[in-house]
Structure 1
């Protein structure tokens, strides 16, 4: 492998005990890979201050994202989550309609060699009690973690000032396109500028732009520019097709009048 290939490749950390220790080595391959993805996301959680008042880290990873990363069906994702939950490595806390679930993973310094906080203590039997403890955390503190994120807030602050009509929940959702969906901040700023410059005071319009980009996997300005060009070409093709149809219709009418 060439040195440039090494520099340009990113790697996931895979805990060795998932392959060697009981009962973890009996997990299915998708469950192990799912844990690996969540294990890797800890850094983003710390960066975005996604932890509760007890210092327990949580992650955001939707089923759709898992399906895309692991190239499998939602049924397989649900099965993998169940495996991890039953063995005490995963806890999923619902947040309500249109809000992504929070995912807590379990691991210890002794077993992983990493400074990962325990979410669950003891055996699988204690899962129910620990889950109640997690669900009982002050939700006001949890729900404001993203809004209080200095990194995202300071970076988007000037742009968001142009949309002072957004409420707290809507502002938080816009920030999540960076923190959860992994968009570059300048991409979100681009969407905000489009909305502000058009004087469109409508959250659904702004959210619609970002949601469409998110579904298409757009995360950089280069991808935005490419998408704009493809959209422009598609619109041009439609107009030309419509013009050709009209020309054909008019030509047919003139031709028919001669009979």
Structure 2
């Protein structure tokens, strides 16, 4: 078995996209790489929100992405994931709205600056 990718296999994989601006824009220089990866996961899930018609009365797309789901995908503990969500909020990349006891937060993904 060949361990290298061939041309015919090059597009067989799905990838998470993390915006380059999060690494090149000075406004995001203090955002950890782990938080940037979490943002990439949230960005990837936006299509599910649109598919589920999770849009508020202002036309803003929102999503539900629990700490538990983030733990499972990123393989970090509860405290670390909570810290990453806070980091994204403090960097103005997301807005979380609490719904109450036992319900997941509503997460609005904010646009990152490209300029």
Coarse TM-score class (shorter-chain normalised): 0.7 to 0.9
Q: Which has the larger share of helix?
A: 1
- Stretches of 4+ moved more than 4 A in 1? none
Matched length: 111
Q: Shift in Å at residue 48 of structure 1? A: 1.0
Counterpart position of 2:111: 107
Q: Which protein shows a greater Rg?
A: 1
CA distance in 1, matches of 2:53, 2:8: 33
Counterpart position of 2:96: 92
Distance 1:97 1:5, change over 3 A: farther
Higher relative contact order (CA 8 A, sep 6+): 2
Counterpart position of 1:47: 51
What are the superposed Cα offsets for residues 188-214 of structure 1, whole Å, 9 maximum, x if unpaired?
xxxxxxxxxxxxxxxxxxxxxxxxxxx
Contact 1:17–1:25 at 8 Å: present in 2 too?
no
Q: Shift in Å at residue 99 of structure 1? A: 1.8
Q: Which has the larger share of strand?
A: 2
Query: Normalising to structure 2: TM-score of the pair?
Result: 0.87
CA distance in 2, matches of 1:3, 1:98: 48
Structure 1 stretches of 5 or more lacking a match? Answer: 113-259
**Superposition RMSD on alpha carbons, in Å?**
1.7
Quick check: 1:14 aligned with 2:18?
Answer: yes
Structure 2 stretches of 5 or more lacking a match? Answer: none
Q: Shift in Å at residue 72 of structure 1? A: 0.7
Query: Normalising to structure 1: TM-score of the pair?
Result: 0.40
